[in-house]
Every structure is written in structure tokens, then in C-alpha cells.
Amino acid sequence: MQYFDVHTHKNCANENVFSIENKYPNSTNFSNTFSIGIHPWFINKKSLENEFLIVENQLQNKNCFAIGECGLDKLTETNFELQKEVFIKQIKLSEKYKKPLIVHCVKSYQEIIEIKKELKPNQTWVLHGFNKNLQVAESLLKNGILMSIGAAIINNKKLQEVVSKLELSTILIETDDSEIDTQEVYQKIAVIKSIEVVELQQIIKQNFTNIFEL
């Protein structure tokens, strides 16, 4: 049974892991399955036009499964209004090319939800690296935003408690830039939910195939 990693920054050599590698407009290797987007940390007005051309071109690559990560981050120095503008453009590309959206969010949950309500997108949004409380999780789910759980689940007791209360149909699993491997995240969530890893694999595979075209 395969493992699915919806968001990673590294190339996984394990053939039992199907992973979506995060790529940027300046990336050069698109030979593996990937997502591509303009991250709010790296927005540069001077290069935006060219970067959007690259993103749009790569969205048509058969190996491209999603757009992102992209989103809003109140802790970065990038102007917040510019972040919104860049994020909305990528939402529109997500709709145009029918690609799910991998969302980066730091202290901007309300703004993300407001934009989703306003634009009413058809494509699935996955908020990666979810690490907040149950109230935030329920607010995201209420607005049709799924969550991806990563390495924080291993030691974060509060996140473990939140995941224990979530329906498994609402989550995906990722490794992001962590050294912890996909299998370890699966194993921890299986323990939290009192199920066998193979059952979790089946559920996550179904969640994954509901969103992405395999």
C-alpha cells in the first residue's frame, strides 16, 4: 500500500511514497510530480510578470498536480496587499487550469477564508502544515478548506488532540521540509486515531484521489 505526501521540499527515493514536490518559478527540474507557485516570502515586483508566465506554463505540464504553495503571511516583510494580489492571481490560475491549491497561511486565516468566500472557487484548497486549534480547523472545514498534517504531529500534544477529533476524510499528510519521513507521520496519526497504518493509507489514498488526478 502506497503512502501519499501532498507537500514536500525534497525528492523522495522511496518508490512506495507518492509525493508532490514543491517547486518555485526559478526551479529547473520538473521531472517528478510537483506543485508550483509564488510563495509570499519570495514575492518580487520586478520579477512577478515573468514568474507568472513560468507558473502558467508549468501548470500545463503533465507532472504538475497543483498550484502552490501560495497564500498570505503576516510575519513576512512582503507588503500584505501585494501578497493578496499575487495570491488571488494564483487562485484564478488554479481555476483556469483546474489544479488544486496548496495554501500557505501564517496569521491570516480570516483573510484566506474571506477571499475564498468572495471568489467561490471550484478547485479544492489544501492548507498545508496545519498546526492550530480545533476552532480554526472547524472554521476552515466549514469553508471547504482541507488540511495537511505534517511533522508537527509527532511531538505537538495540542495538534494531536485536534487531529484526534477530526474526521480522517478531511486531512492529507505531508513532510514539508522536515527530515521526518512520511511513514512516521502516518504511524503517529494511526496511533492517535486507534487504527492500523494500512487503514489510514487507504483513507488518505481516497482523499488524495478525490482531489488530484492520478
Supply the mean pLDDT for the chain: 96
**pLDDT(1) > 90:** no
Average pLDDT over residues 132-156: 97
End-to-end CA distance of the chain: 15
Distance CA 187, CA 170 (A): 18
CATH number of the 3-211 domain: 3.20.20.140
Q: Closest Cα to residue 143, out of 166, 115, 104?
A: 115
**pLDDT(214) > 70:** no
Q: What is the pLDDT of residues 163-183, one digit of tens each?
A: 999 999 999 999 999 999 999
Burial class for 187, CB neighbours closer than 10 Å (0-12, 13-18, 19+): middle
Q: Worst-scoring range by mean pLDDT, 10-14, 58-62, 161-165? A: 10-14
**Domain map (residue ranges) of the chain:** 3-211
Percent of the chain topping pLDDT 70: 100
Specify the DSSP class assigned to residue 79: -
C-alpha angle with apex 80: 44 to 27, nearest 5 degrees? 35
Residue 111, CA atoms < 13 Å, CB-side half-sphere:
17
What is the enclosing helix (H) or strand (E) of 106? strand 101-106
